[in-house]
Structures are given as C-alpha cells and as structure tokens.
Structure 1
Amino acid sequence: MTNLDIDLLERIRTRAAGYDRDNRFFTEDLDELRDAGYLAPQSLADGVRNQRLLARYAPATALGINMHHVVVGVARVLHDRGDWGLDWILDDASDGELFAFGVSEAGNDEVLFDSRTRATPGEDGAFSFTGRKIFTSLSPAWTRLGIFGRDDSDPANPSLVHGYLTRDTDGHHPVGSWNPLGMRATQSFSTQLDGAVIPADRIARILPVGPSPDPYIFGIFSNFLLLIGSVYAGIADRALELGVEAAGHRTSLKNAGRRYSDDPDIRWQLADAAITLDSLGPQLESLATDVDSVADHGSAWFRLLVGAKTRAVDVSRSVVETAIRVSGGSAYDADNELSRLYRDALAGLFHPSDPESAHSTVATNLLGPPTEQA
C-alpha cells in the first residue's frame, strides 16, 4: 500500500531540480508527504517499494526521508519480535513526528560498534551526550533525533548508550556547511552535542562496545541497508527511462537519419542495463519480506544485507553512466536531469557499509576471520 499517488510524485519531481540548484531543504515535499500520511509506519517490504518509487522522482527527497523510515523501521522490527519498548516511536510517527539519525562520526570506522561521543550517566537513568555527529540528514526539520555515545564510567566495562532527543532539548545545534556534489536537498549538516540530556524513558539500548547480536542493531542495519539500496535502485530506474527516451529521439546523420533506438550497439547497452537493473527488485524485496516475517538467515544476515546495498549502489552508477552515454553530450550539462542523477548516485559510495567493509563482512562469513600472522 502506498500514499504516493502520481500527482504528488509529479509535483515532487518538478521541485527536485530547484532544491538541487539552490542547495535547499525539501520543505514543500516534506509537508506534502506528511499530509499524505507517508511518515506513518509501514512494513519494510512496502518501504523498499515506496522508497524506490519516490527516488525515481526525487532522489534527495527519498534519501532524506529514508532516515525517518529507518528509525521507525527499527521500532517495527522490535515490535514484530515481541519487544514493545519502542512502540512510542510508532505512535509518534503516526502522529507526524519526523525522526532522524545522528550516528556517523568523523574518523569512526567502527560505525555502530564504538563511538567518539561521550555518554555521561545522570540522575534517574538519564544520560547526557557530548560530541559531534556528521551527515545528520533532515537537519532543518527533524523533531526526534536518534543518537548514541560511549559510557566509560566503568572503564572495565564500557558501554554504548542509544537514545532519542527531542528538538526542544537544550544542548544541540547544527554546525558547519552543506555544499555537497549531490543529494543536496537532504541538508545533512553536522550536529554538535553539548551535554544534551535524554531521559531514561527515551534510552533505547545500553549495549557493550563492539559487535552486538541485539535485535536493535539488526533493526538499524536491515532497515538502513535495504532502504538505502532502494533509493539507488530508484535512481537507476529513472536513468534507464531517460536513456530510452533519448535513444528514441536522437537521430544519426551517418546512418541517414535513423533513430539511435535502431542502432544495435545502443540497443545492446540499454538492454544490458535493464537486465542488470531487473535483478535488484527481487533481491531487495525478498530480503525485506524476510525481515518482516522474522525469517532466520543466522550468521548470513549481514552478508546478505551489505551485499544487497553494495550491489544496488554499483548498479545505479552503472545504469546512470549508460544512460548518459546513450543520451550524448547534452547529458553533460549541469542542468540536465541525468547530470543530477549521476551526482546523486555517487553519494552511495559513502553510506555505510562502504565497499571495503562490505567485502570484509562477506569474506568473514565465507572464510572466517583472517588468521593472525606470526
């Protein structure tokens, strides 16, 4: 089920180029999506399909709103597994609250398994957080921000504390500038935390430092990786569509005015792009359905999830490049939609898990951890 009717999607598409050009947040898109009920909880399978569709019309809007659906998806994963401690997130999302994630930190390649942010215990189970988070998508508009930090109050047993800030809490503010190559409308500023306090009833988890089998961590990874992959699949969908249109319109002087769509090399390139792209849907959707149905892939889960995300990003860039080649020099113009799609697709390289981490995860699943050299 989707709240994304074609009229809404077409309006969103008309604004995408302006948001990119002006480096501006997608305020109008967010207002319309909220009014359409798109912030409400949905299954991961529905989210994968819906986010792919939205990205076909406005990739940066889809990537930004993705972070909201990741947080809400975590609460849904826990609920489906009998843990109702974060059901308040599902209720808030149904009421139109906007969630974001403040997870990434400069120089922290441990991602969720360690943190440079300091979490300090306070009274009555509260914690205060001090540190800086980078790439906080939805920075101008979030009303709830998921963060985590490291508690070293017991040096022998350090822990990672996960919780959710509300916008009106003191001790946080956006910092730095946001002028990236692509995905500009996400407005993913850094967030400075200066003793921001989260009360006990908004602390989601306290976990040991390092990898964790906790369903909360699984919820973050599964929702993030599959929804991210869907956004990049949507970019590829639109690029292929534009490539096909260009092939039908372009003609060749050398070949007596024949359309490029009749050229065997062009036909092969577009067919090859479509064959590659067509396999993404079953991969992303089947894994999302497995998450929803509480299927058990055991130790292979993370291999499957990082593989799906990595492949979606690689396929997206490849399809966009093919569409640009088929479309000719006009696609190199900065105002051409394919030019924007190319810049947006490059952002996929920087989302966790990066290619190095993904390949390490898959290799460890296949071969075990590397042997220590003597």
Structure 2
Amino acid sequence: MPESVLATSPALGGASEPTLLERIRGRAERYDRENSFFTEDLDELRAAGYLRPRPLLQVVRDQRLLAAHAPATALGLNMHLVWVGVARVLAARGDHSLQWVSDEADAGELFAFGNSEPGNDLVLWDSLTTATAADDGGFSFTGTKIFTSLSPAWTRLGIFGKQQDGPDGPRLVHGFLTRDTPGWRSLEDWDTLGMRATQSHTTVLDNAVVAANRVSRFLPVGPNADPFVFGIFATFLLSIAAVYAGIADRALELAVEATHRRTSLRTGAAYAADPDIRWQVADIALSVDALRPELETLAADVDAVRDHGADWFRYLTGAKHRATETARRAVDRAARVSGGGGYRNSAELARLQRDVLAGIFHPSDTESIHSTVATNLLGPA
C-alpha cells in the first residue's frame, strides 16, 4: 500500500470533495456522541487497502496520522494490525506458521484481539480462560474476554486459554475463532468515557471451538521469549504508542489554531503574540517532536530483525509510556491555550481529553513498566 494513501485518497465525487482523512475526521464526533461503531470509516479504509499487511514502520506512521483525525477509529484498527504484524514478525524470523493470517487479511478479513481478561494482571503469562482439547486437534475455550475492540465487525478473533492437562503439564493455547463459530457472544456493554467508537464489548466464550488449523501457538505458563510473544508486544506497544502520538499531534494543531483565532481585549493582539502562550505552545511541540524518532527507530528495528536482547521490553514499554504520557500532557496544555470553548462537549479538544485518558489502561501500565525497566537495569528484586 502506498504510504500516501490516507492523505491523497479523494472522494468518489472528485478531487474537489473531502479527502478520506477529512471524511473520517468529519464522522468522529458523531460516532462518539452516538456511542456507535465506525462502520463507514472501516468500509472506506478497507477499500483503500488499510487492512493489508505492511512493515511496522509504515503501520506506525499510518496509525499516527489516522489517530490525529479519529483516535477511536485508529485504536480499534490497531487490534487487526497487531495480528497482521505478528505474522510479519514471525515470517521475518523464518517462521511462516501464520502466513494464513497475512493471506486472509490481504483478502479483507478483519482480525480482533481477544486476550484481555478481567482480573488477569499477568496478561500473556497466564489465562483465566480454560482450553480443552478436542479429538480432532482443535480446542474449546470457556472464559470471559474484555476490551474486544471491533466487536460488531471482526471476522477472526485471536484468543488464548490455559490447558491444565497438557502433555507436560499446564500450557497456554493460542488460536483464532471465526465469527460463525458457535459458543461465543458479545455483551454489547461498551459505554465508556472515551474511545467510544471502538465498541470494545465484553466477549463471553462458552465452549467456543477453535479448529485445529487455527491453533496458532502452544506456550508455557509464565514469561517467555518466544517470537510469537515478542511479535504481540512489539506490534501492540508501538502501534498503541502511535495512536497516542497522533492525539498529541492533533492537540498541538488545535493549540496553534486557537492562538491565531483568539484575540486579547487587553492588548488587541492575537494570542499568538503573547509570550506566555508562545512558551506553552513551544513546550507542547518540544515533547511531541521527540516521539517520532523513538517510535520510528524501534519500528524499523523490528522490521530489520535487529536484536536488542533483554533491552527490547524496556524500549518497547518505555515508548508506549512516553507516548501516552506525552499525549496526556499535550492535550492538557492545548486546553489551557485554547480557553473555555474547549470545555464544551461539542469541542474536539473535549473529546480528545476523554480519548487520551484510555492510554493509561492499555498494557503495560505505569507500575509494570517501571518494574520492567528496573529489572532490566538492576536485576530481579
């Protein structure tokens, strides 16, 4: 897919009509207000080739640009892009076991991420969902998954659970449900402060069967360095970071626009000439500008199979942490610069304030990130 597809795709009516990104931004407020799924965005992005496999570096750039126009649309599609990215990470390292994921994504299938569980702070190292082997080599899964973005539209759902009676003891089983598989249901319970268009409903699994040819990995319980796990962490953390970097980009744009729009009654000059306001805008830019080299360098390193050894998780979790925290500060500063109008529900900045808060809930959280970095530098406690 050409790198410029998001910026250059015109409307069907001709070059004088809004671009793809302009149309997407134009729908974001409605999706948020109605708490509805981004159906039109998905249709247009699929037609533009946005769901197809591509290098992680391009995904990071694309997601940052898309998030600057519609954060919830970008966040929802992250989950599809993670699974496609895992297949690419494995293939680059000589493992083509998920080539079918790339092929199906290229054909238009939509992958979702069904790994998060209520009360499971071990994330990928253990599961509260049970996986039971079937005679034909498949597995049935029973448990509850939360934050299932793309719930109204996914056609493939990546899940995992724990098989207690594995050949050598308990083990984790990863696989992909198809939407026509019986044994799962969506609770349609997504009613949140922000990122509403992702429609990340709770998914209940009740002996939902994954066919043998869609079982993707058997892994031990506990931390491990399997490339499958690395692929999930690398693509998830960097693409999530890109979404929040995009929110920070838009906050800076809105702050700049506000300084030219607002005029001081006291001085008669635009706020863009006020030294305090100028400092605030410059300070936003200084922090936002630092995100690009970090995110793009790490993404390029994943693509190039560069080996950072034990430092990888420190770098990846740190990148996610810095992007989400920078975005939160950028939106806050932009609100201060923009004035009281940004406090109205109809203001884009008000929506960004709600959307950016979701960054603190994505793995890895601040506490586990600091633990990861301390362990990397100081060894186990």
Q: For this structure pair, what is the TM-score category when the shorter chain's length is used for normalisation?
A: over 0.9
Corresponding letter in the other structure for 1:70: V
Distance 1:137 1:120 in 2: 25
Give the secondary-structure state (helix, strand or coil) at the position aligned to 2:91. Answer: helix
Secondary structure of the equivalent of 1:205?
strand
Shift of 1:81: 0.5
Question: What is the CA-CA distance between 1:213 and the residue it aligns to?
Answer: 0.7
Match of 1:333 in 2: 344
1:359 to 370, 374, 380: 370
In structure 2, stretches of 5+ residues that fail to align are 9-18
Which of 35, 45, 48 aligns to 2:60? It is 48
Does structure 1 residue 111 correspond to structure 2 residue 113? no
After superposition, where does 1:1-374 map in structure 2 within 5 Å?
A: 1-2=2-3, 3-6=5-8, 7-154=19-166, 157-255=169-267, 257-370=268-381
Per-residue CA deviations over 1:94-147 (Å, capped at 9, x if unaligned) read 001000010100000000000000000111211100000000000000000000
CA distance, structure 2, for counterparts of residue 53 and residue 81 of structure 1: 28
Q: Identity rate of aligned residues, in percent?
A: 64
Shift of the alpha carbon at 1:202?
0.6
Listed one character per residue, the Cα deviations across residues 336-366 of structure 1 (whole Å, up to 9, x for unaligned) are 0000011000000000000011111011001
How far did residue 230 of structure 1 move? 0.2
**Aligned positions, number:** 369
Structure 1: segments with no counterpart, 5+ residues:
none
| Alpha-carbon separation, structure 2, partners of 1:32 and 1:176 | 24
- Alignment partners' CA distance in 2, 1:75 and 1:155: 26
Q: CA deviation at 1:155?
A: 9.5
- In the aligned structure 2, how far is the partner of 1:280 from the partner of 1:5? 21
- For 1:361, give the aligned amino acid: T
Q: By how many angstroms is 1:156 displaced?
A: 6.7
What TM-score comes out, normalization by structure 1 length? 0.97
TM normalised by structure 2 equals 0.96
Cα distance in structure 2, aligned partners of 1:155 and 1:115: 18
Output the amino acid matched with 2:285.
Answer: A
Task: Write out per-residue CA displacement over residues 15-64 of structure 1, whole angstroms, 9 at most, x where no aligned residue.
Answer: 00000000000000000001111110010000000000000100000000
Deviation at 1:253, TM superposition (A): 1.4
Q: CA deviation at 1:334?
A: 0.9
| Structure 2 residue identity aligned to 1:195 | N
One-letter code aligned to 2:377? L
Amino acid at match of 2:198: T
Separation (CA, whole Å) in 2 of partners of 1:79 and 1:93: 15
Give me the whole-angstrom Cα distance separating, in 2, the residues matched to 1:176 and 1:66: 20
Deviation, 1:5, is: 3.0
Which moved further from structure 2: 145-154 or 22-31? 145-154
Shift of 1:4: 1.1
Offset from partner CA, 1:185-240 (integer Å, 9 cap, x none): 00000000000111111111000000111000000000000000000000010110
- Match of 1:96, SS? coil
SS in structure 2 at match of 1:251: coil
**Distance (Å, rounded) in 2 between the aligned partners of 1:156 and 1:63:** 38
